[in-house]
């Protein structure tokens, strides 16, 4: 049985797709690249497309945070950003065999970008379904009810056909959901936001979005350090460049370099960076990736010259639809 993690939405703050002008500019680049790589006719298009990384062709996606974790018959969902609409479509298509649920949705916090998709999660409207919500925030029930409220949404919470059950979590106390053990740890965000360490079959996933990463050292992290320790995969907030991070202190988002520092020290094997800025087009995220590589190489080289061997970290910037197996 494998532990898989699928990213249905990786953007931050607001769903944001390229404008028609930006798409036109992008397509022009893709076409120019086709010819500059020596391809000449339409029979070579598939080969060309297969030679490119998916985000270079299709971008990083427009939907906001929603992550699905599966292990055997166990499933949990983290956050209900606009990405949950596509997950809902997949569920309703029946191809994943889970139309009836129950569904388990863990909420990090309640900023718009993490709740905006919830009314579009169709299982809410199916009689006989059970939907469980989990969060540390004691106002969980009131906050979810508020999402299904006129005039913001036409169907009030009281009219939902599914049975909705709320579970207020204790900070740093594990809870079992099917095969998964989920433990909430606090992140660094202006409104309280809780990351989750999810474990199954000896593998671990650390969900660290949204966070500014203002506490970096082990002493500063204190009781929240176990979120990161030896994680097989960390999903980390990298909305900003390092200079932007300095300008946007207390905005609650971080930079990839901060995540790498934690990953090196805590022996994290793989890192995916996300919460891409709504204004960040493909070129911008690729530039963040370039800067991150520069940083990663410099740190590794510095360690080598000190006769230290840093553990290699597999890292990248996440794109919508990415699925990884731990």
Residue 11 CB, shortest distance to Zn ion, in Å, is: 9
Q: According to the binding rule CB under 5 A, does residue 12 interact with Zn ion?
A: yes
Residue 84 CB, shortest distance to Zn ion, in Å, is: 14
Q: 92, exposed or middle or buried, with CB in 10 Å at 0-12, 13-18, 19+?
A: middle
Q: Choose which of 71, 111, 207, 281 interacts with Zn ion (CB under 5 A).
A: 111
Crossing angle for the helix pair 256-266 and 282-305, nearest 10 degrees?
Answer: 40
Residue 12 CB, shortest distance to Zn ion, in Å, is: 5
Residue 284 CB, shortest distance to Zn ion, in Å, is: 17
Q: According to the binding rule CB under 5 A, does residue 113 interact with Zn ion?
A: yes
> Are 13 and 82 a contacting pair, CB within 8 Å?
no
Taking contact as CB under 5 A, which single stretch among the options 43-51, 112-120, 258-266, 315-323 is the one that binds Zn ion? 112-120
Residue 45 CB, shortest distance to Zn ion, in Å, is: 37
User: Of 54, 63, 6, 64, which Cα lies nearest the Cα of 209?
Assistant: 64
> Are 244 and 197 a contacting pair, CB within 8 Å?
no
Residue 275 CB, shortest distance to Zn ion, in Å, is: 6
Question: In this complex, which beta carbon is closest to Zn ion, that of residue 3 or of residue 60?
Answer: 60
Number of residue whose CB is nearest Zn ion: 111
Using alpha carbons only, give the angle 118, 76, 194 rounded to the nearest 5 degrees.
Answer: 75
Beta pairing partners, 316: 272
d(CA 116, CA 147): 8
Taking contact as CB under 5 A, which single stretch among the options 53-61, 89-97, 110-118, 302-310 is the one that binds Zn ion? 110-118
Taking contact as CB under 5 A, which single stretch among the options 71-79, 203-211, 277-285, 296-304 is the one that binds Zn ion? 203-211
Question: In this complex, which beta carbon is closest to Zn ion, that of residue 104 or of residue 111?
Answer: 111
Q: Choose which of 188, 199, 210, 212 interacts with Zn ion (CB under 5 A).
A: 210
d(CA 180, CA 246): 37
Count CB atoms within 10 A of the CB of residue 37. Answer: 12
Q: According to the binding rule CB under 5 A, does residue 199 interact with Zn ion?
A: no
Question: In this complex, which beta carbon is closest to Zn ion, that of residue 12 or of residue 55?
Answer: 12
Question: In this complex, which beta carbon is closest to Zn ion, that of residue 199 or of residue 210?
Answer: 210
| Assigned token pair, 53 | 């990384």
Taking contact as CB under 5 A, which single stretch among the options 20-28, 83-91, 113-121, 180-188 is the one that binds Zn ion? 113-121
User: Of 146, 180, 186, which Cα lies nearest the Cα of 166?
Assistant: 146
d(CA 11, CA 66): 9
d(CA 201, CA 82): 30
Kindly list the residues in this chain that would bind Zn ion in the complex (CB under 5 A): 12, 111, 113, 210
């Amino acid at each position: 049985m494998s532990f898989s993690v699928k990213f249905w939405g990786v953007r931050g703050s607001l769903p944001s797709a390229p404008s028609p002008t930006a798409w036109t500019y992008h397509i022009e680049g893709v076409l120019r690249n086709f010819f500059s790589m020596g391809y000449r006719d339409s029979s070579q298009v598939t080969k060309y497309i297969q030679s490119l990384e998916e985000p270079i062709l299709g971008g990083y996606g427009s939907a906001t945070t929603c992550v699905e974790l599966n292990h055997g018959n166990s499933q949990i969902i983290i956050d209900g950003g606009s990405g949950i609409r596509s997950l809902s479509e997949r569920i309703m298509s029946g191809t994943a065999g889970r139309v009836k649920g129950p569904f388990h949705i863990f909420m990090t916090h309640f900023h718009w970008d993490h709740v905006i998709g919830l009314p579009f999660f169709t299982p809410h409207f199916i009689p006989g379904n059970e939907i469980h919500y989990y969060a540390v925030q004691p106002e969980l029930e009131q906050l979810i009810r508020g999402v299904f409220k006129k005039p913001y949404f036409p169907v009030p919470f009281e009219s939902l056909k599914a049975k909705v059950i709320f579970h207020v979590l204790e900070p740093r106390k594990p809870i079992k959901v099917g095969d998964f053990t989920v433990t909430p740890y606090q992140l660094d965000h202006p409104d309280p936001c809780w990351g989750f360490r999810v474990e199954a079959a000896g593998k671990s996933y650390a969900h660290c979005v949204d966070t500014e990463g203002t506490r970096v050292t082990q002493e500063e992290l204190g009781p929240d350090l176990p979120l990161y320790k030896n994680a097989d995969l960390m999903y980390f907030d990298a909305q900003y460049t390092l200079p932007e991070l300095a300008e946007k202190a207390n905005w609650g988002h971080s930079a990839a370099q901060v995540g790498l520092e934690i990953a090196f020290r805590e022996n994290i094997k793989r890192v995916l960076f996300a919460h891409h800025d709504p204004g960040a087009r493909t070129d911008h995220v690729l530039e963040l990736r370039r800067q991150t590589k520069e940083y990663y190489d410099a740190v590794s080289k510095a360690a080598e010259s000190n006769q230290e061997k840093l553990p290699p970290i597999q890292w990248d910037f996440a794109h919508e639809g990415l699925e990884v197996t731990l």
